[in-house]
Amino acid sequence: MITWEDFYTVMCAMIPLYFAMFLAYGSVKWWKIFTPEQCSGINRFVATFAVPVLSFHFISHNNPYQMDSRFILADTLSKLLVLMAISLWAALSAAFASPRRRGRRLDWVITLFSVGTLPNTLVMGIPLLRAMYGDFTQSLMVQLVVLQCIIWYTLLLFLFEYRAATLLIEDQFPGTAAAAIAKFEIDGDIISLDGRDPIQAESEIDADGRLRVRIRRSTSSAPGSGMSSSLGITPRRLSNVSGAEIFSVNTPARQPQPAPAEQLTVRDITFGYRSASPHPSGYASSDAYSLQPTPRASNFNELEICTPVWVRSPAVAGGVKLAWEGCGGRCGQVDKDVGAGEKDLSFRSTSKFVVRKEDEIEMEGEAEQEMPAALVMLRLILTVVGRKLSRNPNTYSSILGLLWSLISFKWDISMPSLLKESIKIISDAGLGMAMFSLGLFMALQPRIIACGPKMAAISMAIRFLSGPTVMSAASMAVGLRGVRLHTAIVQAALPQGIVPFVFAREYGLHPDILSTGVIFGMLVSLPVTLLYYILLGL
């Protein structure tokens, strides 16, 4: 039975975190203390230093030789069950879909897996469960954090890059043409296929008669280029501050429209047709841990709003060049204060393309898409995934923390006091600053529920009902009982992690759903987890 003293202990652990979040929200929304540029600096510190150091602190103090294998097995089994169930649904529904629409099933596999299985374990899970069930839960949560960072976020990134690669191949090598590709060559400055940078793919036949594709940065989609002007779209340049920038979607209505004689069709802009959501400028905080490409300067006097565009370049001497062009350029001015009187651009807003009936008929009747050999695709995706992870500070903090814990607990070696205290002073600020940056993120959104009430209700049901249900089944299947079972269930009911939102925003895949999960989920998670805590304690 849960006593009032137990309830008060939980409140003492959680209210300070929510205080930091709402203090940041009020500082931007009501009191106008921070400008977007200042918010960017705060969040860059959080993403680059505070949270990675916090992660290193927890992992390095956890004994890896006393891992709870049954608890880890339950968490792993629950995620695999969800992934298999969603994949089975996608496979069955794809059997009755047209070839062009089958690729969309992967979109929902990624989104539903993110919503259902990847909570905010580090920032919310450790303090909450430690207050509910005791200090031993900190070790359990740290073990899950390690698995999330090293395994599950890597798997998620793999799925996103696979989706981006298939979009490129489907557009540039339709039908059976892609099956002839023998090798992809990726320039060293290409970090990802997510479309954040202008990219083009060039194909050529080598001396052995094999088709090789080179992926490199495009130089033809700069502002004022033929591509930008002929399509009549205001290009955008996605800024990035190591996963730390604030996502603001308030901008004047200055987006130019295509001329009537140059209306865009599905055949002109394939990527815009296939993407379920726009690809907005983004923010990655706290749980994101800087899962981003190489940092670039952020500019809050610009807001980028158009979707990357796939186009086919003209033939050139020596063969045919096939190119996927992203957008590059500038559009609009953003007022430095978050105020009213401006047009709100939510995640749901997107460019309006003319879908001609003959286009739909032609696309439905196309031959089934073929892909390159599995090994060729695997090499491509592993290359870009490895490059992206190598730019992530939290990758290094997790691996270094794990290595140090293996050494220190094996040979009983203590960290030098000078280094220990230097890490401690940053990690102590990690939790508070992570929640503060979440408040800044909330304040710069035009609406809390970006995906609409119906989709929000579905995502909340998956997050707070389906997730704990599957976890409880998996936990009981492996023999978890008592307090550890309760810990596993409550952990599954934590709010949405931010890493999935970061990826969804970068790759243009349902960012409205994941944004709602982060913001609205934070607001409802406390009463939901308290309800689970009370019911499990009866």
DSSP labels for 135-202?
Answer: THHHHHHHHHHHHIIIIIHHHHHHHHHHHHHHHHHHHHSTTTGGGGEEEEEE-TT---SSSSS-EEEE
When mean pLDDT is compared across 118-132, 304-318, 503-517, the lowest value belongs to: 304-318
Q: How confident is the model at residue 98 (pLDDT cuts 50, 70, 90)?
A: low
Cα(first)–Cα(last) distance of the chain, in Å?
Answer: 5
- Sign for the CA dihedral angle at 402, 403, 408, 414 comes to negative
Residue 301 pLDDT greater than 70, yes or no: no
* Residue range 484-504: mean pLDDT, rounded: 94
Name 211's bridge partners.
181, 205
From the CA atom positions of the chain, what is the Rg in Å?
24
- Residue 70 has φ and ψ, to the nearest 5°, of -70, -40
- Sign for the CA dihedral angle at 433, 435, 441, 444 comes to negative
Which run of H or E residues covers position 524? helix 511-536
At 334-391, the pLDDT tens digits run 333 333 333 333 343 333 334 444 554 555 555 677 889 999 999 999 999 999 999 9
* pLDDT value of residue 371: 87
Tokens (6 digits) for 484: 């550890």
Distance in angstroms (rounded) separating the CA atoms of residues 139 and 136: 6
Distance in angstroms (rounded) separating the CA atoms of residues 316 and 339: 50
Distance in angstroms (rounded) separating the CA atoms of residues 202 and 184: 10
* pLDDT value of residue 365: 52
Residue 489 pLDDT greater than 50, yes or no: yes
In this structure, are residues 510 and 504 in contact, taking their beta carbons and an 8 Å threshold?
Answer: yes
* Residue range 97-104: mean pLDDT, rounded: 63
In this structure, are residues 56 and 146 in contact, taking their beta carbons and an 8 Å threshold?
Answer: no
Number of Cβ within a 10 Å radius of residue 12: 11
* Residue range 103-124: mean pLDDT, rounded: 91
Q: Are strands 309-310 and 211-217 parallel, antiparallel or unpaired?
A: unpaired
What is the widest separation between alpha-carbon atoms in the chain?
79
Distance in angstroms (rounded) separating the CA atoms of residues 521 and 530: 14
CATH topology of domain 4-170+393-537: Na+/H+ antiporter like fold (1.20.1530)
In this structure, are residues 471 and 487 in contact, taking their beta carbons and an 8 Å threshold?
Answer: no
**Among the listed residues 455, 442, 227, the one whose alpha carbon sits nearest the alpha carbon of residue 324:** 227
* pLDDT value of residue 410: 94
The length of the chain is 538
Residue 202 pLDDT greater than 90, yes or no: no
**What is the identity of the amino acid at 423?**
I
Q: Are strands 343-344 and 250-251 parallel, antiparallel or unpaired?
A: antiparallel
Distance in angstroms (rounded) separating the CA atoms of residues 17 and 239: 29
* Residue range 175-201: mean pLDDT, rounded: 85
How many Cα atoms sit within 13 Å of 197 on the Cβ side? 20
- Three-state SS for 312? coil
Q: How confident is the model at residue 97 (pLDDT cuts 50, 70, 90)?
A: low
Query: pLDDT averaged over the chain?
Result: 77
* Residue range 46-54: mean pLDDT, rounded: 93
- Residue 432 has φ and ψ, to the nearest 5°, of -65, -40
Residue spans of the domains in the chain: they are: 4-170+393-537
Number of Cβ within a 10 Å radius of residue 159: 22
- Residue 252 has φ and ψ, to the nearest 5°, of -65, 155
* Residue range 303-309: mean pLDDT, rounded: 37
With a pLDDT cut of 70, the percent of the chain lying above it is 71
**Among the listed residues 271, 99, 243, 251, the one whose alpha carbon sits nearest the alpha carbon of residue 176:** 99
Q: How confident is the model at residue 409 (pLDDT cuts 50, 70, 90)?
A: very high
Distance in angstroms (rounded) separating the CA atoms of residues 181 and 460: 42
In this structure, are residues 401 and 63 in contact, taking their beta carbons and an 8 Å threshold?
Answer: no
At 227-270, the pLDDT tens digits run 333 333 233 333 333 333 333 333 333 444 444 443 433 333 33
Distance in angstroms (rounded) separating the CA atoms of residues 443 and 244: 15
Beta-carbon contacts of 230 under 8 Å, excluding residues fewer than 6 positions away, are 262
Residue 450 pLDDT greater than 50, yes or no: yes
Name 185's bridge partners.
214
* Residue range 502-509: mean pLDDT, rounded: 90
Buried b (16+ CB within 10 A) or exposed e, 301-313: ebbbbbbbbbbeb
In this structure, are residues 431 and 85 in contact, taking their beta carbons and an 8 Å threshold?
Answer: no
